[in-house]
Chain A
């Protein structure tokens, strides 16, 4: 740890007055650098953090990092070590550790910054930085790293700080780990599939002699051994691999829902019963090979349908947005870190820049700026003064503040919003998948036919009658039908996933294909959250002015000046003679003999002009007012075009938590008839969605991103969450879309609509097979050979058809 600090100090700031406008590239992260900060080798850096990580890597001979890296290394953020103090708390620590004894502990951490081979290299060589690390292993796709660490040498808190200093700040939130149970289910499915495949192969091999030698196997010993083995093998097939089909069929019967699993289970039982009867009574050798093929193919379909995205979570509750612990200040005693669940009314807490207010409280410091965009969708910062009530969920933008807690976390505003009953949707969703809609007709039809065949043949011969009854159940077993939806949707999910649209499960693809209405959120969805744009067009300035302004802004911690400094690409002066920042007004600086004033209209000496044009910041240098910078919403590229195309097919609407200064623009993009509502609270959004659903205009999708949309996302038929970076927190939803791909939404949805064509072509294919098979069955001509051929052939054509048509439609819609 000490080396980090030592290295940071050993870098010298270049001493000469840098006024050249030559552009440098940071040797660590590849961002633009001013050239003011260099090391002895002449590498330029954009910030002190990058410089120290760069130096560290060379000191520990990890220069290979830069050969592997795409020069987009993670930019380390400034870390206040005290913000991790709560990790020393035993109860907090044990939330994360997967194993610990006297000597070592093991922990798996989510590091969302992992993005390239160099990250793996760096993290797996972590033992070179600190001898306490015994082993570190990266799971790239899950963006996770597993550590084994010696307890005495490196505490859990120290490990987290080490990672954060290297730029890999772990995601420390107690979320529900849904992905784990999904992974366990998937493993169980693979085991069942492996057993089914094994048995399928062996039964096929054992059946070949019967099919290939004319008249069947004559040798009595060989014949009985083969038949015994086939029956023995089929037992685990039916009762282990195929068990879930019986369970689901039984569940469907109890709920009086004729789902697709009922004919499947009946078909399986008929195949098994008929075969055992034939073998035992010596009539023939049965259909057990068909049974094995059936179960094997069905399980493959189920596996294919189960696409999981390791780095995404579709289920999150509000707690995962909150910090784990917070600093509590006590009179006459040292500050302490407490888990937020232990906070009580009356406690005084300290909240730093960029931290989230954990519960409703009163401001004790003079003033602060709060970013509520995540809770309300309002993008402008709110200024609060001593005594104001601050609601949970806001983010502090500015220096450290002291708050007095007025409600324990469990009674706070956000918690109450979250605990309302509409969040418990999901269990009895009335939506029926296409397969189950068809099986409502299919299942009774099959049963009628089977009983009809039985009654028709009964007068002639009881033997034939029961044979026909079993044959109908066998051949009507809707294998191809049951496969067509999983393969079509499974394939579509993969194509959508490659294009940045991640769907929770295949039923959601089915819903998406029937979508009728789309409701958009504004802030963070239509606009970009990270760069509310700066409009510099009202400024009349030269390069020298820009340098002065950037130099002055660099000293400020105010988010607006930070943003302005980031946007200006010029270099800076090293020396500032005088600097004064007045909270809520602006900054005043003396640089190179010029007086630089940046701030509100009155601060620079203008009369206040009433306007509602977003936030304006005026700039004055000496006596010359250069103009103002306007902070405005920055719409995503390509969104207008996408919305224009979408409005041809869908009914659109906008619900924004922001004020209505953008109404004119939005109305222009969405069309005059579109319902656009502003100043919507989270509860207001929820009500609007409920109202729209009552009009019954078809399935409705809500597209949103923040906590303020969380309730609406759950209430809509489909909730689509926008994720700026993969791995970033998104509220619970059915679909997660990569923000970059939002402008392709019309293409993606067109593709999803076309999957219906694939589904229907597959359904007709499988029905043709079933009708062909039934004609064999009803005339009493079904033989094991016919069944053994028809079953796999029908399944394979359905699978091929789904694959090829999906590929075709994907290319047609210019998707990857």
Chain B
């Protein structure tokens, strides 16, 4: 439980940084970024093997953010972990900043892929998983996709491929927040029965509350021991998690908070610390 409290505290700080950076950028995607903060925190501060001082260490676990619009969460997490100085976070989306509106490999250090156009990350993850197997390397490939990007055919091409090649070194998190830019996923393009689809495609499936750190840890550890199949962890998250006036409201998918809204949000978050 001590570990849980430590990680919760970090997740709250990451949420504060997400709100700060989006308010200073004036545009971006708060709801999803806040929703995945617990997953990223648990990965980077407990589960992943990585070294912020050696971002290209060949033995690191690869974390691929396929849903590039959620990069504020990744940037905030990398800054918190020490990949780059935190004072840079307010340069998000500014001319010349390493923190581009959607993320690029190596910018900042620690980002593995270019993402923004949805549906590509899981394919790239499959390539990295194959390479690791060819090289007899033990690291894992962890890819976070959004539920909305399952509208893309390419995601399912990769799902089939990963099962065919038994990529058990691949762990996918789906941010199942049930919203996408134009509304609810089940209205725009229904994904249910989501779990059954993955099972039918030959994957191991874990279904968790993606805002519950203990559940994230448990599912990930189970995936680590999975043999012969890739694992998907369908993580139900609350969009805008942690901020009362954003939680569950799809209008915050792609709208940055104003300075006043950000101040209000940060006051709420600080109460959690």
Partners in one complex: no
